[in-house]
Chains A and B, each alone.
Chain A
Amino acid sequence: MWAGLWASQFTTPPLQCHVTSTLTYENDCKPDENGKKGASRWSHCRKRGADGNLRKSYEVEEPGKCSHSSRRPESFTTPESEGPVSRVKNWGDEVEAEEMRSNVRRDMHRYRRRILEADFPQRDRKISSGSSDSRDSRDSKESPAKGDLETDETTLIRRQKQINYGKNTLAYDRYIKDVPKDMRQPGVHPKTPNKFKKYSRRSWDQQIKLWRVKLHAWDPPAEEGSDLQQIEEIDLGEIMDFELDVECSADTESQCPTSSGASLLETEKFKLKDAT
Protein backbone atom coordinates (compact mmCIF):
# COMPACT_ATOMS: atom_id res chain seq x y z
CA MET A 1 0.00 0.00 0.00
CA TRP A 2 1.42 3.36 -0.78
CA ALA A 3 0.14 6.69 0.23
CA GLY A 4 1.48 8.84 -2.53
CA LEU A 5 -0.85 11.00 -4.51
CA TRP A 6 -0.77 10.65 -8.22
CA ALA A 7 -2.10 14.11 -8.80
CA SER A 8 -1.93 14.18 -12.53
CA GLN A 9 -0.80 11.91 -15.24
CA PHE A 10 2.21 14.09 -15.73
CA THR A 11 3.82 13.00 -12.54
CA THR A 12 5.15 9.55 -12.25
CA PRO A 13 4.23 7.29 -9.40
CA PRO A 14 6.74 5.47 -7.23
CA LEU A 15 8.38 2.80 -9.25
CA GLN A 16 7.49 -0.19 -7.20
CA CYS A 17 3.81 0.43 -7.46
CA HIS A 18 3.57 1.08 -11.09
CA VAL A 19 2.33 -2.06 -12.67
CA THR A 20 1.55 -1.79 -16.29
CA SER A 21 -2.08 -2.39 -16.70
CA THR A 22 -3.73 -2.45 -13.34
CA LEU A 23 -3.36 -1.11 -9.94
CA THR A 24 -5.56 -0.29 -7.09
CA TYR A 25 -4.19 2.51 -5.11
CA GLU A 26 -5.49 4.89 -2.60
CA ASN A 27 -5.15 8.50 -2.13
CA ASP A 28 -7.45 10.18 0.26
CA CYS A 29 -10.34 8.27 -1.23
CA LYS A 30 -10.44 4.87 0.30
CA PRO A 31 -12.47 2.29 -1.50
CA ASP A 32 -14.25 -0.08 0.77
CA GLU A 33 -15.87 -3.42 0.19
CA ASN A 34 -18.72 -2.31 -1.92
CA GLY A 35 -16.67 0.34 -3.57
CA LYS A 36 -19.41 2.88 -3.49
CA LYS A 37 -19.36 4.63 -0.19
CA GLY A 38 -15.96 6.17 -0.57
CA ALA A 39 -15.43 9.25 -2.59
CA SER A 40 -14.64 8.55 -6.18
CA ARG A 41 -12.93 10.77 -8.59
CA TRP A 42 -16.09 12.45 -9.68
CA SER A 43 -18.19 11.99 -6.63
CA HIS A 44 -17.70 15.56 -5.51
CA CYS A 45 -19.69 16.43 -8.59
CA ARG A 46 -22.68 14.55 -7.36
CA LYS A 47 -25.34 15.99 -5.23
CA ARG A 48 -25.95 12.87 -3.28
CA GLY A 49 -23.65 10.28 -1.97
CA ALA A 50 -24.31 6.70 -2.78
CA ASP A 51 -26.11 6.34 0.52
CA GLY A 52 -28.66 8.87 -0.64
CA ASN A 53 -27.69 11.74 1.63
CA LEU A 54 -27.11 15.14 0.20
CA ARG A 55 -23.51 16.11 0.11
CA LYS A 56 -22.54 19.23 1.94
CA SER A 57 -20.69 20.86 -0.84
CA TYR A 58 -21.97 20.36 -4.29
CA GLU A 59 -19.44 21.93 -6.54
CA VAL A 60 -17.71 21.03 -9.66
CA GLU A 61 -14.00 21.13 -9.32
CA GLU A 62 -12.04 22.56 -12.15
CA PRO A 63 -11.71 19.89 -14.73
CA GLY A 64 -7.98 20.19 -14.77
CA LYS A 65 -7.83 18.99 -11.21
CA CYS A 66 -10.01 16.02 -11.75
CA SER A 67 -7.30 14.03 -13.29
CA HIS A 68 -5.97 10.63 -12.65
CA SER A 69 -5.88 10.76 -8.88
CA SER A 70 -8.14 7.85 -8.04
CA ARG A 71 -8.88 6.55 -11.46
CA ARG A 72 -7.12 3.27 -11.09
CA PRO A 73 -9.55 0.64 -10.02
CA GLU A 74 -8.61 -2.98 -10.27
CA SER A 75 -8.54 -4.56 -13.61
CA PHE A 76 -11.00 -7.27 -14.39
CA THR A 77 -8.10 -9.57 -15.09
CA THR A 78 -5.85 -10.89 -12.40
CA PRO A 79 -3.12 -8.42 -11.78
CA GLU A 80 0.20 -9.26 -13.22
CA SER A 81 3.55 -7.66 -13.03
CA GLU A 82 6.33 -7.43 -15.52
CA GLY A 83 8.74 -6.46 -12.85
CA PRO A 84 10.12 -2.97 -12.80
CA VAL A 85 8.41 -0.70 -15.26
CA SER A 86 10.01 2.35 -16.75
CA ARG A 87 8.82 5.55 -15.18
CA VAL A 88 7.90 7.14 -18.45
CA LYS A 89 4.93 5.31 -19.84
CA ASN A 90 3.71 5.95 -23.30
CA TRP A 91 0.86 4.20 -24.97
CA GLY A 92 3.02 2.80 -27.72
CA ASP A 93 5.18 0.94 -25.24
CA GLU A 94 2.25 -0.14 -23.12
CA VAL A 95 0.43 -1.67 -26.03
CA GLU A 96 3.54 -3.44 -27.23
CA ALA A 97 4.01 -4.88 -23.78
CA GLU A 98 0.36 -5.99 -23.74
CA GLU A 99 0.84 -7.64 -27.07
CA MET A 100 3.97 -9.40 -25.94
CA ARG A 101 2.22 -10.73 -22.87
CA SER A 102 -0.79 -11.97 -24.72
CA ASN A 103 1.38 -13.57 -27.38
CA VAL A 104 3.35 -15.40 -24.73
CA ARG A 105 0.17 -16.61 -23.09
CA ARG A 106 -1.21 -17.79 -26.36
CA ASP A 107 2.02 -19.64 -27.07
CA MET A 108 1.77 -21.24 -23.67
CA HIS A 109 -1.73 -22.54 -24.37
CA ARG A 110 -0.63 -23.99 -27.66
CA TYR A 111 2.41 -25.56 -26.15
CA ARG A 112 0.51 -27.19 -23.34
CA ARG A 113 -1.98 -28.53 -25.82
CA ARG A 114 0.79 -29.91 -27.92
CA ILE A 115 2.35 -31.66 -24.99
CA LEU A 116 -0.97 -33.22 -24.10
CA GLU A 117 -1.44 -34.35 -27.65
CA ALA A 118 1.98 -35.88 -27.59
CA ASP A 119 0.89 -37.98 -24.65
CA PHE A 120 -2.20 -39.09 -26.49
CA PRO A 121 -1.16 -39.32 -30.10
CA GLN A 122 -3.89 -39.61 -32.66
CA ARG A 123 -3.40 -41.16 -35.97
CA ASP A 124 -4.73 -38.49 -38.27
CA ARG A 125 -3.46 -35.56 -36.40
CA LYS A 126 -2.42 -32.79 -38.70
CA ILE A 127 0.74 -30.92 -37.99
CA SER A 128 -0.06 -27.31 -37.42
CA SER A 129 1.59 -25.02 -39.87
CA GLY A 130 1.77 -22.04 -37.59
CA SER A 131 5.20 -20.97 -36.62
CA SER A 132 6.19 -21.82 -33.14
CA ASP A 133 9.33 -21.93 -31.15
CA SER A 134 8.40 -25.01 -29.23
CA ARG A 135 7.72 -27.82 -31.59
CA ASP A 136 9.62 -30.53 -29.91
CA SER A 137 6.84 -31.82 -27.73
CA ARG A 138 6.76 -35.07 -29.59
CA ASP A 139 10.30 -35.90 -28.81
CA SER A 140 9.74 -37.61 -25.51
CA LYS A 141 13.38 -37.40 -24.65
CA GLU A 142 13.32 -33.65 -24.80
CA SER A 143 9.83 -32.70 -23.87
CA PRO A 144 9.48 -31.54 -20.31
CA ALA A 145 7.42 -33.36 -17.78
CA LYS A 146 4.06 -31.75 -17.51
CA GLY A 147 4.85 -29.93 -14.34
CA ASP A 148 8.18 -28.79 -15.55
CA LEU A 149 7.43 -25.83 -17.73
CA GLU A 150 8.85 -22.40 -17.42
CA THR A 151 5.83 -20.34 -16.52
CA ASP A 152 7.22 -17.11 -15.14
CA GLU A 153 5.90 -14.43 -17.43
CA THR A 154 8.81 -12.07 -16.99
CA THR A 155 11.21 -14.78 -17.99
CA LEU A 156 9.10 -15.89 -20.91
CA ILE A 157 8.80 -12.35 -22.19
CA ARG A 158 12.51 -11.77 -21.90
CA ARG A 159 13.22 -14.99 -23.74
CA GLN A 160 10.68 -14.17 -26.41
CA LYS A 161 12.35 -10.82 -26.98
CA GLN A 162 15.67 -12.52 -27.47
CA ILE A 163 14.10 -14.94 -29.91
CA ASN A 164 12.45 -12.07 -31.75
CA TYR A 165 15.77 -10.33 -32.23
CA GLY A 166 17.11 -13.43 -33.84
CA LYS A 167 14.09 -13.96 -36.03
CA ASN A 168 14.00 -10.38 -37.14
CA THR A 169 17.09 -10.80 -39.28
CA LEU A 170 17.68 -11.30 -42.95
CA ALA A 171 19.65 -14.39 -42.09
CA TYR A 172 16.66 -15.98 -40.43
CA ASP A 173 14.42 -15.09 -43.34
CA ARG A 174 16.81 -16.70 -45.76
CA TYR A 175 17.23 -19.71 -43.54
CA ILE A 176 13.55 -20.55 -43.29
CA LYS A 177 13.17 -20.18 -47.02
CA ASP A 178 16.19 -22.30 -47.62
CA VAL A 179 15.49 -25.20 -45.32
CA PRO A 180 11.90 -26.29 -44.75
CA LYS A 181 11.11 -27.61 -41.32
CA ASP A 182 10.89 -31.23 -42.24
CA MET A 183 14.36 -31.13 -43.77
CA ARG A 184 16.08 -29.83 -40.72
CA GLN A 185 18.68 -31.96 -39.14
CA PRO A 186 19.48 -31.61 -35.49
CA GLY A 187 22.98 -30.37 -34.90
CA VAL A 188 23.39 -29.16 -38.44
CA HIS A 189 20.59 -26.67 -38.70
CA PRO A 190 19.95 -23.96 -36.15
CA LYS A 191 16.97 -24.59 -33.97
CA THR A 192 15.13 -21.98 -32.00
CA PRO A 193 15.53 -22.57 -28.30
CA ASN A 194 12.35 -23.62 -26.56
CA LYS A 195 11.41 -20.89 -24.17
CA PHE A 196 9.08 -23.11 -22.18
CA LYS A 197 11.75 -25.42 -20.93
CA LYS A 198 13.44 -24.88 -17.63
CA TYR A 199 16.94 -23.57 -18.06
CA SER A 200 19.21 -21.49 -15.98
CA ARG A 201 19.75 -17.97 -17.18
CA ARG A 202 23.27 -18.71 -18.31
CA SER A 203 22.25 -21.83 -20.11
CA TRP A 204 19.49 -20.04 -21.94
CA ASP A 205 21.67 -17.09 -22.91
CA GLN A 206 24.27 -19.45 -24.22
CA GLN A 207 21.75 -21.35 -26.30
CA ILE A 208 20.57 -18.10 -27.81
CA LYS A 209 24.11 -17.07 -28.65
CA LEU A 210 24.86 -20.35 -30.31
CA TRP A 211 21.62 -20.27 -32.21
CA ARG A 212 22.31 -16.83 -33.58
CA VAL A 213 25.82 -17.68 -34.50
CA LYS A 214 24.57 -20.63 -36.48
CA LEU A 215 22.06 -18.44 -38.23
CA HIS A 216 24.87 -16.32 -39.58
CA ALA A 217 25.57 -19.02 -42.09
CA TRP A 218 22.59 -17.61 -43.93
CA ASP A 219 23.66 -13.99 -43.86
CA PRO A 220 23.23 -12.30 -47.20
CA PRO A 221 26.48 -11.45 -48.96
CA ALA A 222 28.13 -8.35 -47.51
CA GLU A 223 27.20 -5.11 -49.20
CA GLU A 224 29.13 -1.94 -49.76
CA GLY A 225 28.36 1.28 -48.00
CA SER A 226 25.95 -0.12 -45.52
CA ASP A 227 25.60 2.67 -43.04
CA LEU A 228 22.44 0.92 -42.08
CA GLN A 229 24.65 -1.36 -40.08
CA GLN A 230 26.11 1.52 -38.13
CA ILE A 231 22.69 2.61 -37.03
CA GLU A 232 21.67 -0.88 -36.12
CA GLU A 233 24.81 -1.32 -34.14
CA ILE A 234 23.81 1.49 -31.86
CA ASP A 235 20.26 0.30 -31.54
CA LEU A 236 21.37 -3.17 -30.71
CA GLY A 237 23.52 -1.95 -27.89
CA GLU A 238 20.60 -0.20 -26.33
CA ILE A 239 17.92 -2.74 -26.74
CA MET A 240 19.72 -5.99 -26.20
CA ASP A 241 19.51 -7.04 -22.65
CA PHE A 242 22.35 -9.44 -22.83
CA GLU A 243 25.80 -9.21 -24.20
CA LEU A 244 26.74 -10.45 -27.57
CA ASP A 245 30.38 -11.20 -27.52
CA VAL A 246 30.64 -14.29 -29.59
CA GLU A 247 33.76 -14.70 -31.62
CA CYS A 248 33.09 -16.65 -34.73
CA SER A 249 36.53 -18.15 -34.99
CA ALA A 250 36.46 -19.64 -31.52
CA ASP A 251 33.26 -21.54 -32.00
CA THR A 252 33.83 -24.71 -33.93
CA GLU A 253 30.19 -25.26 -34.64
CA SER A 254 29.57 -21.99 -36.33
CA GLN A 255 30.19 -21.03 -39.87
CA CYS A 256 31.11 -17.45 -40.46
CA PRO A 257 31.28 -16.55 -44.08
CA THR A 258 32.29 -12.99 -43.37
CA SER A 259 35.66 -11.89 -42.13
CA SER A 260 36.71 -13.75 -39.05
CA GLY A 261 36.88 -11.96 -35.75
CA ALA A 262 34.08 -9.64 -36.73
CA SER A 263 31.78 -9.11 -33.84
CA LEU A 264 28.19 -10.15 -34.10
CA LEU A 265 27.11 -6.55 -33.99
CA GLU A 266 28.98 -5.59 -37.08
CA THR A 267 27.75 -8.40 -39.20
CA GLU A 268 24.18 -8.38 -38.04
CA LYS A 269 21.77 -7.39 -40.68
CA PHE A 270 18.23 -6.68 -39.79
CA LYS A 271 15.64 -7.26 -42.32
CA LEU A 272 14.18 -4.24 -43.91
CA LYS A 273 12.17 -5.07 -46.89
CA ASP A 274 12.97 -2.90 -49.88
CA ALA A 275 15.85 -1.50 -47.93
CA THR A 276 17.97 -0.72 -50.95
Chain B
Amino acid sequence: SNLLLIFLYQVQAHDLVICEKLSNVIVDQSLKDQIFSREAGRICYTIVQAEAKQTNGNVFRRNLLNRLQQEFKAREETRKRSTQEWVCLVSFICNIFDYLKVNNMPMMALVHPVYDCLFRLAQSDALKNEEEVDCLVLQLHRIGDQLEKMNLQLMDELFNLLRDGFLLQEDLSSMGHLLLLEILEFRAGGWTLSETAQKYYYSEVTD
Protein backbone atom coordinates (compact mmCIF):
# COMPACT_ATOMS: atom_id res chain seq x y z
CA SER B 1 0.00 0.00 0.00
CA ASN B 2 3.00 2.26 0.50
CA LEU B 3 4.10 1.79 -3.05
CA LEU B 4 0.61 2.31 -4.30
CA LEU B 5 0.47 5.70 -2.73
CA ILE B 6 3.75 6.81 -4.17
CA PHE B 7 2.66 5.63 -7.55
CA LEU B 8 -0.60 7.50 -7.19
CA TYR B 9 1.31 10.62 -6.49
CA GLN B 10 3.65 10.28 -9.38
CA VAL B 11 0.82 9.69 -11.76
CA GLN B 12 -1.03 12.79 -10.75
CA ALA B 13 1.69 14.99 -9.44
CA HIS B 14 0.58 17.99 -11.40
CA ASP B 15 -2.90 17.97 -10.06
CA LEU B 16 -3.00 20.17 -7.02
CA VAL B 17 -6.32 18.80 -5.94
CA ILE B 18 -4.83 15.36 -5.55
CA CYS B 19 -2.44 16.69 -2.97
CA GLU B 20 -5.27 17.37 -0.66
CA LYS B 21 -6.86 14.01 -1.35
CA LEU B 22 -3.57 12.28 -0.94
CA SER B 23 -2.81 13.88 2.35
CA ASN B 24 -6.25 12.90 3.58
CA VAL B 25 -5.76 9.33 2.45
CA ILE B 26 -2.50 9.15 4.29
CA VAL B 27 -3.88 10.60 7.47
CA ASP B 28 -6.93 8.34 7.37
CA GLN B 29 -4.81 5.29 6.85
CA SER B 30 -2.46 6.31 9.62
CA LEU B 31 -5.28 6.49 12.08
CA LYS B 32 -6.35 2.97 11.31
CA ASP B 33 -3.16 1.12 10.80
CA GLN B 34 -0.55 1.06 13.52
CA ILE B 35 2.28 -0.10 11.34
CA PHE B 36 1.47 2.51 8.78
CA SER B 37 1.27 5.27 11.32
CA ARG B 38 4.81 4.57 12.38
CA GLU B 39 6.17 4.61 8.87
CA ALA B 40 4.03 7.14 7.10
CA GLY B 41 6.49 9.89 7.88
CA ARG B 42 8.90 8.44 5.44
CA ILE B 43 6.31 8.37 2.69
CA CYS B 44 5.27 11.92 3.40
CA TYR B 45 8.85 13.03 3.27
CA THR B 46 9.24 11.48 -0.15
CA ILE B 47 6.15 13.18 -1.44
CA VAL B 48 7.10 16.56 -0.02
CA GLN B 49 10.53 16.35 -1.64
CA ALA B 50 9.04 15.27 -4.92
CA GLU B 51 6.57 18.11 -4.97
CA ALA B 52 9.19 20.67 -4.05
CA LYS B 53 11.39 19.47 -6.82
CA GLN B 54 8.71 19.25 -9.46
CA THR B 55 6.64 22.30 -8.85
CA ASN B 56 8.54 24.23 -6.22
CA GLY B 57 5.38 24.03 -4.22
CA ASN B 58 4.39 22.57 -0.91
CA VAL B 59 0.69 22.04 -1.26
CA PHE B 60 0.91 18.51 0.02
CA ARG B 61 2.80 19.49 3.13
CA ARG B 62 0.45 22.30 3.89
CA ASN B 63 -2.63 20.11 3.48
CA LEU B 64 -1.07 17.35 5.50
CA LEU B 65 -0.17 19.63 8.37
CA ASN B 66 -3.54 21.32 8.48
CA ARG B 67 -5.35 18.02 8.42
CA LEU B 68 -3.05 16.78 11.16
CA GLN B 69 -3.85 19.85 13.15
CA GLN B 70 -7.54 19.10 12.92
CA GLU B 71 -6.98 15.60 14.19
CA PHE B 72 -4.79 16.93 16.95
CA LYS B 73 -7.47 19.35 18.09
CA ALA B 74 -9.95 16.49 18.27
CA ARG B 75 -7.56 14.15 20.03
CA GLU B 76 -9.45 13.92 23.29
CA GLU B 77 -12.60 12.74 21.55
CA THR B 78 -10.53 10.34 19.52
CA ARG B 79 -9.03 8.94 22.66
CA LYS B 80 -12.45 8.43 24.19
CA ARG B 81 -13.70 6.77 21.07
CA SER B 82 -10.82 4.45 20.40
CA THR B 83 -7.50 3.95 22.13
CA GLN B 84 -6.13 2.39 18.98
CA GLU B 85 -6.89 5.47 16.90
CA TRP B 86 -5.46 7.72 19.56
CA VAL B 87 -2.15 5.93 19.73
CA CYS B 88 -2.03 5.82 15.96
CA LEU B 89 -2.53 9.56 15.89
CA VAL B 90 0.30 10.13 18.33
CA SER B 91 2.58 7.81 16.41
CA PHE B 92 1.79 9.59 13.22
CA ILE B 93 2.36 13.08 14.54
CA CYS B 94 5.67 12.00 16.03
CA ASN B 95 6.65 10.27 12.84
CA ILE B 96 5.96 13.43 10.88
CA PHE B 97 8.00 15.40 13.38
CA ASP B 98 10.82 12.96 12.86
CA TYR B 99 10.86 12.95 9.09
CA LEU B 100 9.57 16.27 7.88
CA LYS B 101 12.28 18.73 8.59
CA VAL B 102 12.58 22.33 7.57
CA ASN B 103 16.07 23.00 6.31
CA ASN B 104 17.22 20.05 8.37
CA MET B 105 15.67 21.40 11.51
CA PRO B 106 12.62 19.90 13.20
CA MET B 107 9.41 21.80 12.70
CA MET B 108 9.05 24.14 15.62
CA ALA B 109 5.33 24.32 15.10
CA LEU B 110 5.02 20.67 16.08
CA VAL B 111 7.09 20.74 19.25
CA HIS B 112 4.34 21.78 21.60
CA PRO B 113 1.70 19.55 20.02
CA VAL B 114 3.99 16.57 20.33
CA TYR B 115 4.69 17.36 23.94
CA ASP B 116 0.97 17.77 24.52
CA CYS B 117 0.39 14.27 23.26
CA LEU B 118 3.14 12.81 25.39
CA PHE B 119 1.97 14.62 28.48
CA ARG B 120 -1.48 13.24 27.85
CA LEU B 121 -0.06 9.75 27.68
CA ALA B 122 1.72 10.35 30.96
CA GLN B 123 -1.49 11.01 32.82
CA SER B 124 -2.54 8.38 35.28
CA ASP B 125 -5.61 7.33 33.35
CA ALA B 126 -3.40 6.63 30.37
CA LEU B 127 -0.52 5.02 32.20
CA LYS B 128 -2.71 2.20 33.36
CA ASN B 129 -3.22 1.14 29.73
CA GLU B 130 -0.32 -0.82 28.39
CA GLU B 131 -1.18 0.25 24.88
CA GLU B 132 -0.72 3.89 25.77
CA VAL B 133 2.44 3.34 27.76
CA ASP B 134 3.85 1.37 24.89
CA CYS B 135 3.07 4.22 22.51
CA LEU B 136 4.63 6.75 24.86
CA VAL B 137 7.92 4.93 25.25
CA LEU B 138 8.11 4.18 21.56
CA GLN B 139 7.90 7.86 20.70
CA LEU B 140 10.46 8.78 23.32
CA HIS B 141 12.84 6.19 21.93
CA ARG B 142 12.45 7.60 18.47
CA ILE B 143 12.38 11.34 18.97
CA GLY B 144 13.12 11.95 22.63
CA ASP B 145 16.54 13.36 22.05
CA GLN B 146 15.32 15.75 19.39
CA LEU B 147 12.45 16.89 21.57
CA GLU B 148 14.75 17.46 24.46
CA LYS B 149 16.97 19.67 22.35
CA MET B 150 13.97 21.70 21.32
CA ASN B 151 12.75 22.12 24.86
CA LEU B 152 14.61 20.77 27.83
CA GLN B 153 12.28 22.05 30.48
CA LEU B 154 9.28 20.27 29.06
CA MET B 155 11.17 17.03 28.83
CA ASP B 156 12.21 17.37 32.44
CA GLU B 157 8.62 17.92 33.46
CA LEU B 158 7.47 14.97 31.42
CA PHE B 159 9.96 12.71 33.09
CA ASN B 160 8.94 13.97 36.50
CA LEU B 161 5.50 12.70 35.66
CA LEU B 162 6.86 9.39 34.52
CA ARG B 163 8.86 8.95 37.67
CA ASP B 164 5.85 9.77 39.77
CA GLY B 165 3.74 7.36 37.79
CA PHE B 166 6.26 4.61 38.14
CA LEU B 167 6.62 5.05 41.89
CA LEU B 168 3.17 5.97 42.98
CA GLN B 169 0.59 4.71 40.62
CA GLU B 170 -1.07 1.62 41.92
CA ASP B 171 -2.90 0.37 38.88
CA LEU B 172 0.11 0.10 36.64
CA SER B 173 0.57 -3.30 35.06
CA SER B 174 3.91 -5.01 35.49
CA MET B 175 4.61 -4.47 31.82
CA GLY B 176 3.78 -0.84 32.33
CA HIS B 177 6.29 -0.71 35.16
CA LEU B 178 8.90 -2.35 33.03
CA LEU B 179 8.39 0.00 30.12
CA LEU B 180 8.59 3.04 32.33
CA LEU B 181 11.69 1.86 34.11
CA GLU B 182 13.39 1.22 30.83
CA ILE B 183 12.60 4.66 29.45
CA LEU B 184 13.77 6.30 32.65
CA GLU B 185 17.09 4.53 32.32
CA PHE B 186 17.20 5.25 28.63
CA ARG B 187 16.99 8.99 29.07
CA ALA B 188 19.26 8.98 32.08
CA GLY B 189 21.84 7.31 29.89
CA GLY B 190 21.67 10.12 27.34
CA TRP B 191 19.00 8.52 25.17
CA THR B 192 20.76 5.23 24.96
CA LEU B 193 20.88 2.10 27.05
CA SER B 194 24.01 0.85 28.66
CA GLU B 195 25.07 -2.59 27.61
CA THR B 196 24.05 -4.16 30.84
CA ALA B 197 20.68 -2.48 30.75
CA GLN B 198 20.24 -3.59 27.18
CA LYS B 199 20.92 -7.14 28.26
CA TYR B 200 18.58 -6.85 31.16
CA TYR B 201 15.62 -5.62 29.19
CA TYR B 202 16.08 -7.25 25.87
CA SER B 203 17.74 -10.56 26.34
CA GLU B 204 15.70 -13.68 26.27
CA VAL B 205 14.86 -15.01 29.62
CA THR B 206 16.58 -18.24 30.45
CA ASP B 207 15.31 -20.24 33.33
Chain A residues proximal to chain B, CB less than 8 Å: 9-10, 21-22, 35, 40-42, 45-48, 50, 60, 63-64, 66-68, 71-73, 75-76, 90-96, 98-99, 102-103, 106, 168, 271-275
Contact = CB atoms under 8 A, between A and B. Distances in A.
Given A10-B73, A63-B120, A102-B102, A46 B161 contact: yes
B11 to A, nearest CB: 11
B167 to A, nearest CB: 9
Given A45-B161, A46-B161, A272 B103 contact: no
Given A42-B161, A67-B116, A95-B61, 4 more contacts: A71-B112, A92-B61, A95-B109, A98-B107
Contacts of B151: 73, 75-76
A103 B104 CA distance: 11
A66 B150 CA distance: 22
Contacts of B102: 95, 98-99, 102
A-B complex: 7 closest residue pairs judged by Cβ atoms: A92-B62, A94-B109, A274-B14, A91-B65, A102-B103, A91-B69, A21-B108
Contacts of A50: 160
A22 to B, nearest CB: 8
Given A76-B151, A275-B14, A60 B105 contact: no
A117 B116 CA distance: 46
A16 B112 CA distance: 20
A72 B65 CA distance: 20
B63 interface: yes
B66 A90 contact: yes
16 contacts: A10-B73, A21-B109, A42-B123, A45-B161, A63-B125, A67-B116, A71-B116, A91-B69, A92-B65, A95-B102, A95-B107, A95-B109, A98-B108, A99-B102, A106-B103, A271-B55
Interface of B: 13-14, 54-56, 58, 61-63, 65-66, 68-69, 73, 76, 79, 102-103, 105, 107-110, 112, 115-116, 119-120, 122-125, 149-154, 157, 160-161, 164, 168
Nearest to A48: B164
A96 B61 CA distance: 9
A80 to B, nearest CB: 11
Contact of B112 (A10, A72, A103): A72
SS of A interface (majority): loop
Contacts of A21: 108-109
B14 A76 contact: no
Contacts of B112: 68, 71-72
Contact of B54 (A22, A95, A273): A273
A35 to B, nearest CB: 6
A60 B73 contact: no
A66 B121 CA distance: 13
Contacts of B109: 21, 91, 94-95, 98
B115 A71 contact: yes
Contacts of B58: 96
Given A63-B120, A71-B116, A91 B55 contact: no
Contacts of A98: 102, 107-109
B115 A63 contact: no
Chain B CB within 10 Å, residue with most, of A64, A91, A274: A91
Contacts of A48: 164
A103 B14 CA distance: 25
Contacts of B55: 271-273
